């Protein structure tokens, strides 16, 4: 190659750069290493080691969910802040508080899912559910590419002497050790001081290594790998153009228009007849003794929820593709609005059935799940109506449907469900309705649920009063042992609801001191369960 034909510096860089692949738009370009990610990475590893590997409970995970978002915000490289960050950050904070107060495995899962979404938002990605799954699946490969980039750039951050050949480093080091040892040996005081210092350093390293397990190294490597993937994600937004504009419309007759029109006419008539039946049979009436509450208000509500879900699916199938381009679409939409009103009335009927069941014998965890599930279906149906009105495509709808279901699961994981359930049942009992006592007698609860039972120790109903006192009396030694174990395990195991319950029970202990006999307590519990079972 002649002098004139030598490539320029820009050409050399282009020749060294990897070829771009237009067929894979989901891979983000690699950005240069910055100092802030080198600060965030070791801190993420240390915090994860302390709170997960060496942690003993939910409080450690709670601290991780409070600190990790700050470290990700500091160190993430393609920082482009999607607006979802301002929603996910307070949700993470709420989850952290929940784990400190009264944690659960569901709250831990919800916290890590939110953390993934938060990392996506920091890098400019909209945290759609399926997009999050793709993002998570790419963490291992992104971590590998990031670590490879670190290894290539390591020489840029190391002293110049370390970039020389081996003999240029070894020779001065050996010389330093030899002459340093001679000078120390020539001074007895330095020998004693140096020996003492060396002994202390050796003992410190031994004690440190004694506590470190081989598996901990593997854990830290895995956390570091995943953390690099979070700091340097390689996934771009998939189908981002669906977010900002409706699906394009090209006028044309839809071959299935008549079929969909006739289907809508049929379901409008069927739903109308059924809603009249529902109103006449279950609204504004006093239910006789022996009424099949489980069949109507439990199983029946579940079947009506299935009908709502199928209606949502059917509307999604109708208003898509060529139907959106049919000139007769306005007529089809008018029929859809009529059916939508009927579906909303059906949703009200489902809520009414759930309230009938709650009114019969109180609130439970599963009924809370039922309310959340029906609410999710209703929101999903509303999304379908919005899709039809704005001519959105199926991707737009599917993403938001998944958001709705995911958020309902998050609410169940972080809200104080047991506290709400027992608070509701206790209020009903104190108001003179003993039926909800069956839920207290047969369903397990957490510390935050037991905290709400104390008003019943003065209940006018003798059987309920003695039963609640026996429940709380048996809970006291259990939670005394639990809080003692948490203190022994360390701060990562602390659950503040357990300590609050222990303190409350110690204050109330004098109320049931006359019932300390185990046989009398067991008899009180048996009587309470037998008495409450009549409302099961």
Q: What per-residue confidence (pLDDT) applies to 413?
A: 94
Q: Output DSSP code: residue 78.
A: S
> What is the token pair recorded at 107?
């709250």
Q: What per-residue confidence (pLDDT) applies to 196?
A: 80
> What is the token pair recorded at 313?
């699916």
Long-range contacts of 210-218 (CB under 8 A, 24+ apart): 215/53, 216/49, 216/53, 216/54
Q: Please give the Cα distance from 59 to 322 (Å, whole number).
A: 54
> What is the token pair recorded at 205?
């390293």
List average pLDDT for each run of 10 residues in the chain, which is 536 residues long: 44 43 46 83 93 92 95 86 92 96 94 94 89 89 85 62 58 74 72 77 67 80 92 70 51 78 90 89 72 68 86 85 79 89 90 87 91 90 86 82 91 94 95 92 93 93 92 93 92 94 92 74 90 87
Q: What per-residue confidence (pLDDT) applies to 19?
A: 45
Long-range contacts of 291-297 (CB under 8 A, 24+ apart): 293/356, 293/357, 293/360, 293/361, 294/357, 296/353, 296/356, 297/353, 297/354, 297/356, 297/357, 297/360
Decide if 384 contacts 312 (C-beta within 8 A). yes
85-99 b/e (C-beta count within 10 Å ≥ 16 → b): beebbebbebbbebb
pLDDT digits (tens, 9 = 90+) for 458-471: 999 999 999 999 99
pTM of the entire predicted model: 0.78
> What is the token pair recorded at 498?
């357990």
What proportions of the chain, in percent to the nearest 5, are helix, strand and coil?
A: 80, 0, 20
Decide if 362 contacts 464 (C-beta within 8 A). no
> What is the token pair recorded at 162?
């370390």
Q: Please give the Cα distance from 242 to 193 (Å, whole number).
A: 72
200-227 b/e (C-beta count within 10 Å ≥ 16 → b): eeeeeeeeeeeeeeeeeeebbeebbbbb
Q: What per-residue confidence (pLDDT) applies to 250?
A: 59
Q: Tell me how crowded residue 497 is: count the other CB atoms within 10 A of its CB.
A: 21
């Amino acid at each position: 190659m002649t002098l004139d034909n030598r490539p320029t510096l820009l050409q050399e860089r282009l020749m060294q750069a990897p070829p771009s692949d237009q067929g894979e738009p989901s891979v983000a370009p690699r950005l240069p290493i910055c100092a802030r990610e080198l600060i965030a990475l070791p801190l993420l590893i240390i915090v994860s080691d302390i709170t997960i590997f060496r942690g003993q409970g939910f409080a450690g995970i709670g601290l991780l969910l409070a600190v990790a978002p700050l470290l990700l915000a500091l160190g993430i490289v393609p920082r482009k802040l999607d607006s979802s960050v301002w929603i996910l950050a307070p949700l993470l904070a709420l989850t952290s508080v929940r784990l400190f107060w009264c944690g659960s495995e569901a709250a831990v899962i919800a916290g890590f899912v939110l953390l993934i979404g938060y990392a996506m938002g920091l890098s400019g990605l909209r945290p759609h559910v399926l997009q999050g799954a793709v993002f998570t699946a790419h963490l291992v490969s992104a971590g590998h590419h990031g670590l490879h980039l670190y290894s290539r750039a390591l020489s840029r951050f190391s002293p110049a002497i370390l970039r020389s050949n081996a003999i240029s480093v070894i020779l001065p080091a050996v010389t330093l050790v030899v002459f340093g040892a001679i000078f120390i040996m020539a001074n007895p005081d330095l020998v004693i001081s140096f020996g003492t210092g060396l002994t202390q350093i050796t003992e410190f390293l031994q004690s440190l290594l004694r506590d470190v397990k081989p598996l901990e190294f593997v854990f830290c490597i895995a956390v570091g790998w995943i953390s690099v993937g979070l700091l340097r994600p390689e996934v771009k937004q998939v189908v981002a153009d669906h977010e900002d504009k409706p699906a394009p419309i090209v006028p044309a007759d839809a071959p299935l228009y008549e079929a969909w029109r006739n289907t809508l006419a049929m379901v409008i008539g069927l739903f109308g007849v059924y809603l009249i039946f529902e109103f006449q049979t279950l609204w504004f009436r006093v239910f006789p003794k022996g009424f099949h509450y489980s069949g109507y208000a439990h199983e029946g509500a579940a079947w009506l929820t299935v009908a709502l879900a199928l209606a949502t699916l059917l509307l999604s199938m109708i208003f898509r593709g060529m139907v959106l381009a049919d000139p007769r679409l306005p007529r089809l939409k008018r029929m859809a609005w009529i059916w939508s009103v009927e579906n909303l009335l059906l949703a009200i009927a489902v809520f009414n059935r759930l309230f009938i069941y709650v009114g019969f014998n109180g609130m439970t965890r599963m009924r809370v799940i039922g309310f959340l599930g029906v609410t999710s279906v209703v929101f999903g149906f509303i999304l379908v109506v919005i899709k039809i009105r704005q001519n959105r495509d199926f991707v737009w709808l599917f993403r938001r449907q998944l958001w709705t279901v995911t958020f309902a699961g998050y609410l169940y994981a972080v809200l104080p469900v047991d506290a709400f359930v027992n608070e509701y049942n206790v209020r009903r009992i104190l108001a003179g309705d003993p039926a909800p006592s069956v839920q207290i007698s047969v369903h397990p609860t957490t510390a935050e649920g037991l905290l709400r039972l104390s008003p019943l120790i003065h209940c006018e109903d003798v059987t309920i009063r003695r039963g609640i006192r026996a429940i709380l009396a048996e809970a006291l030694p259990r939670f005394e042992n639990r809080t003692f174990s948490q203190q022994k395990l360390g701060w990562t195991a602390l659950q503040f609801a357990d300590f609050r319950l222990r303190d409350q029970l110690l204050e109330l202990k004098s109320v049931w001191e006359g019932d300390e006999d185990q046989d009398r307590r067991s008899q009180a519990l048996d009587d309470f369960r037998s008495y409450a079972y009549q409302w099961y």
